[in-house]
Structure 1
Amino acid sequence: MQHEIKSKMPEWIWSDANFSMCLSNDIDSFFSATLLKKIKNWNISHFYDFSSIYKSNQQPKGEKLIGVDIALEGNAYCFDNHVTLLNAGDTPNPNSCNINNILNITRDNYFQKYCMGTNMLILSLFSVFDLKSLSDDQKIFLWCVDVSYKGHYSNYENDRNAHSTYIEILQLEPIADVFDRYSPDDFRQFIKEYLLFENIKVNEAGRLTTGIRLDLVQKLFPELELSLPEEKFIKTHSFKLGKANLPQNKKLFKGENKRLFSSP
């Protein structure tokens, strides 16, 4: 990652503090958490599926919790790739590791947003792999997570420019060479083969489960621990789904929707 952007990331991500992680329900969150497990030795202790929050019955005590591919407000800790600012002048969460916050991306300049996965952010920050040494299948997988490849093939010049810009910012050029050798259909076929569109769920026994072919992903990255936690997860909160009008600023958003927990 370019030093100018990297230096603006929250300081806590460089610390040796022992955090635990809250996982959400897709491959971007899980693969990102897997990378953080390897880098930081952090464990998954919570799970959020947009209707409920679950807590592991083996949750470590005395650790701070971070959201992985989950945008959090206030001063909560998280890695994410979402646009959280409604308008210029809104105050971002200072503990959110999010390029869109650093670059002040809002509704007004939304089409300049960072539009790749949280996994790419983490790869770029921590240099998990020697990107030059990755195979084509490994590179394609990384681009398929959160369909990060799409911007390159967009019909809109603005999307293609934004995609190129963030490849440069994150210094992902060593894995961008696959765009010269493969088509959008190749990426779509890869997603189908690995079932990357499947969600992670909690089954009736309280165990995390998924249709994603984690066995195939494990073969791609043998140095990672690509298995869901085996412990039981217990539901602690449930939420009702509803609709709310998008206001003009974040302050009004909070004021008019005091019971709002999540805004997809």
Structure 2
Amino acid sequence: MKQNLKERLPQWYKEITNEHKLILTNDLDSYFSCLILRKLFGCDIAMFYDFNSIYYNEKINHDKLIGVDLAIEDERIKTFCNHVTRIHKDDKVNPLSINLNNINGIHRDNYYDKYAGSTLLMILSLFDNGDIFKNLTDEQKQILISIDSHYLGYYGGYSAWHKWNNELELKEPFMNVIENNTKESMNKFQYEHSLKGTISAWDLFTEYPLKTTLDLKYLKEQFPTLEWDYLDSLIFTKKLDLNSKKNTGYINSKADLSSRLFSFALTRKNEMKFTTV
């Protein structure tokens, strides 16, 4: 990531230690990112959020929380996020969110200027010391650009895709894979390796272990230095059910939705997904 872009982000990322605890959400972008933060800083996962409920890992304290791929509205909680979190240009955003769309004022009216890549690539780019992308195989690169369908912006012809990949310094390591594949071949690769799989809580009365449709065995083969089996050790207790909503009608701003927003993301130009407490 270019230095001038790093300087515009909230600077708390420089102070992460193993005392910080992570909030996992329900897909590979979040889990892979959690494993990177765990490898870099020793962070444990303390909470799981599936857009319907919040679950706590009772064995871990819940101080110094960091959301991972989470568009949380709570201004007390730090988070890494890749979502568009404004409807109107003047909507408030979480000031502790490391979010490229937030710092660039992305909202409904300039929606197609957004960073449409993954939280994972943003985190890897942020903490890259020059080595992270250097020795990747083509298959590893395909996996990384398949997460959150990062490759679609290139094949769709969006100029913002090139802008953001330049800013994050991702073009050089990934362009050979992009140019040697088609959208169809990337879609097939993504499907064959279950890269759009989900993570969910499995109800065992009072305890909730996690289950997934992700192919963790394959991911472990490709990225063996990461702790892919960590998911199997996590047991949670359900703490809170939320109201999860999707809206495709015209809403002027977030203030018109609710004063009790927990999370909010503009998932398409005129479509939003949000939860309320």
TM-score > 0.5 by shorter chain: yes
Q: Show the counterpart of 1:176.
A: 175
Q: What SS class does the counterpart of residue 133 from structure 1 fall into?
A: coil
Q: What SS class does the counterpart of residue 59 from structure 1 fall into?
A: coil
Q: Show the counterpart of 1:7.
A: 7
Separation in 1 of the partners of 2:16 and 2:85? Answer: 27
Q: What SS class does the counterpart of residue 65 from structure 2 fall into?
A: strand
Q: Show the counterpart of 1:188.
A: 187
Pair 1:8–1:241, CA change in 2 (3 A):
closer
Q: Show the counterpart of 1:70.
A: 70
Q: After the TM superposition, which residues 87-106 of structure 1 pair with which residues of structure 2 at under 5 Å, given as runs?
A: 87-106=88-107
Q: Show the counterpart of 2:124.
A: 123
Separation in 2 of the partners of 1:169 and 1:124? Answer: 10
Q: Select between 164-173 and 72-81 the one with higher mean Cα deviation.
A: 72-81
Residue identity in the other structure for 2:214: I
Query: Shift in Å at residue 231 of structure 1?
Result: 3.1
Q: After the TM superposition, which residues 192-203 of structure 1 pair with which residues of structure 2 at under 5 Å, given as runs?
A: 192-203=191-202
Residue identity in the other structure for 1:168: N
Residue identity in the other structure for 1:215: K
Pair 1:50–1:133, CA change in 2 (3 A):
same
Q: Select between 100-109 and 8-17 the one with higher mean Cα deviation.
A: 8-17
Confirm or deny: 8 A CA contact 1:71 1:82 kept in the other structure: yes
Q: Select between 223-232 and 91-100 the one with higher mean Cα deviation.
A: 223-232
Q: Select between 183-192 and 78-87 the one with higher mean Cα deviation.
A: 183-192
Q: Show the counterpart of 1:162.
A: 160
Q: After the TM superposition, which residues 42-81 of structure 1 pair with which residues of structure 2 at under 5 Å, given as runs?
A: 42-60=43-61, 63-75=63-75, 76-81=77-82
* Moved beyond 3 Å, runs of 4+: 240-247, 250-253, 258-263
Query: Shift in Å at residue 66 of structure 1?
Result: 1.3
Residue identity in the other structure for 1:197: K
Q: Show the counterpart of 2:242.
A: 239
Separation in 2 of the partners of 1:163 and 1:82? Answer: 15
Q: Deviations over 1:81-140 (max 9, x none)?
A: 011122223333211000001111111110100000000100100017531311000000
Residue identity in the other structure for 1:170: L
Q: What SS class does the counterpart of residue 261 from structure 1 fall into?
A: strand
CA RMSD of aligned residues (A): 1.8
Separation in 1 of the partners of 2:80 and 2:232? Answer: 20
Query: Shift in Å at residue 242 of structure 1?
Result: 4.2
Q: Show the counterpart of 1:250.
A: 254
Q: TM-score, normalised by structure 2?
A: 0.86
Q: Select between 24-33 and 190-199 the one with higher mean Cα deviation.
A: 190-199
Residue identity in the other structure for 1:233: F
Percent same amino acid at aligned positions? Answer: 35
Residue identity in the other structure for 2:251: P
Q: Show the counterpart of 1:23.
A: 24
Q: Deviations over 1:139-190 (max 9, x none)?
A: 0000000111111111xx4x2x111111101000212221121122221222
Pair 1:29–1:223, CA change in 2 (3 A):
same
Separation in 1 of the partners of 2:224 and 2:110? Answer: 40
Matched, 1:230 2:233: yes
Query: Shift in Å at residue 260 of structure 1?
Result: 4.2
Unaligned runs of 5+ in 2: 265-272
How many residues are paired up?
A: 256
Q: Select between 238-247 and 175-184 the one with higher mean Cα deviation.
A: 238-247
Q: Show the counterpart of 2:270.
A: none
Q: Show the counterpart of 1:142.
A: 144
Confirm or deny: 8 A CA contact 1:132 1:175 kept in the other structure: no
Q: TM-score, normalised by structure 1?
A: 0.90
Out of 213, 219, 229, the position equivalent to 1:217 is 219
Separation in 2 of the partners of 1:139 and 1:125? Answer: 17
Separation in 2 of the partners of 1:147 and 1:109? Answer: 20
Confirm or deny: 8 A CA contact 2:46 2:56 kept in the other structure: yes
Higher strand share: 2
Confirm or deny: 8 A CA contact 1:58 1:231 kept in the other structure: no
